[in-house]
Amino acid sequence: MPKRRQQRGEGQGSPLSERLSVRVPVAVELTGISRTKLYELIKTGKVQMIKIGTATVIPIESLRQFIDANKR
């Protein structure tokens, strides 16, 4: 049986293995913000979003910036 080739960055903890963006359901799960509230934040420009074809993705850095800016 052939060995599975390791993909670049896989299992090495390199920056390539860190996701740059996530889809809306994952962003909701990561932040604890409701789907409705997340779309409201996108609409008001407080959280960025990117359209790739029909997919909507949220940059992880945008989520981090929003959370950091709203810490109390």
Predicted confidence (pLDDT) at residue 11 exceeds the cutoff of 70: no
Predicted confidence (pLDDT) at residue 5 exceeds the cutoff of 80: no
pTM listed for this prediction: 0.72
Predicted confidence (pLDDT) at residue 7 exceeds the cutoff of 90: no
Instruction: Quickly tell me which residue has 């996530």 as its tokens.
Output: 22
What are 24-38's pLDDT values in tens digits? 999 999 999 999 999
Q: Element (H or E) spanning 56, and its range? A: strand 55-59
* Calpha distance 12→28 (Å, rounded): 27
The whole-number pLDDT of residue 10 equals: 47
